[in-house]
Copies of this chain bind each other. A is one copy, B any other.
Amino acid sequence: MLDAQTTADRLTLDDMREAHERIRPHINRTPVMRSDYLDELTGAQLFFKCENFQEAGAFKVRGACNAVFGLSDEMAEKGVCTHSSGNHALSLSYAAGRRGIPCNVVMPRTAPQAKKDAVRRFGGTITECEPSTSSREATFAEVQARTGGEFVHPYNDPRVIAGQATCSAELLEQTGGVDAVIAPIGGGGMVSGTCLTVSNLAPQTAIYAAEPEQADDAYRSFKAGHIIADDAPKTVADGLLVPLKENTWHFVSKNVTDIFTASEQEIVDAMKLTWKYLRVVMEPSSAVPLATILKNPEVFKGKRVGVIITGGNVDLDKLPWIKG
């Protein structure tokens, strides 16, 4: 049985499978979508795993549900708490709401309104902080001390990683296998889950991560061989602001083939392309993989590539290609 202290090296495929059984009643088996036009444009065969179609609008509901529904009744009593740039906050609120326990979240005041609204809609309570790692950690310490809830870290928690790992298990089943998988990287929760599943079930499949140039700490960490953390990066990809931690670094350093970066304009262009041709509402963070595929055609050409669309919680009044 996993708890918050289990270290990443002890996670196994069985943990992913247990998570999948546990969360199945609470998540959607999201569809894999295709676009002939985007295939032509990239020269690859792209399989978009649409986690934006989760009820809470993000893959993070997998890890959050695994953590919340894995708690003993005694542990669950005081509820759960976390800090998050948005999607983990609302996903944890969603999971806690379904279990009927309280959820307290610390979010940067700059988080998209759509994400704050969703937290409240699912019954979570928000405490705002400044958009920096230091402010987030200080504010969270106060909230956790006050509420006594179980801390579910947005990505450095083995229960969360095991939950996120269920996404690529579905992707492999739905596609019959791919040559490569690519996902956005912030703290590394989705990428770590992908590593856990794919490196075991399909070891021949390359695992790539995609990151904004303006928040490229995972890229620099990967090249340097140790974790490098920025305090307050700024990018349109609001879901990718946080640094790697030891549990995600374990997977990133061990299983990731390469990390690619994209500029702000490339991210916005890829986002608009996906809205236009795949016709899905997804957030800027989810566009980083396509942006890097377009930028590195030689890596992906002729390949079957799974692309994780991580979330779809966007402020529809403030789209990044429309000047306000």
Residues of A within 8 A of B (CB): 31, 33, 35-37, 52-53, 55, 57, 114, 121, 272, 275-276, 279-282, 312, 316-317, 319, 321-322
Give 6 closest A-B pairs by Cβ, nearest first. A279-B312, A279-B281, A52-B279, A31-B31, A36-B55, A275-B281
Q: A279-B281, A281-B279 given as contacts; is B317 within 8 A of A321 (CB)?
A: yes
Task: Enumerate 20 A-B pairs (CB-CB under 8 Å) in ascending A order.
Answer: A31-B31, A33-B53, A35-B55, A36-B55, A52-B279, A53-B279, A114-B276, A275-B281, A275-B316, A276-B281, A276-B316, A279-B280, A279-B281, A279-B312, A280-B280, A280-B281, A281-B281, A316-B319, A317-B321, A322-B322
* Cβ-defined contact, A272 with B316, below 8 A: yes
What's the Cα separation between A321 and B318 when bound, in Å?
11
Chain B contacts for A55, CB-based, 8 A? 35-37
**Known contacts A272-B316, A281-B281, A317-B321; 7 further A-B pairs (Cβ under 8 A):** A53-B279, A57-B279, A275-B281, A279-B281, A279-B282, A280-B281, A316-B319
CB distance from A174 to the nearest CB of B (A): 12
Chain B contacts for A279, CB-based, 8 A? 52-53, 57, 280-282, 312
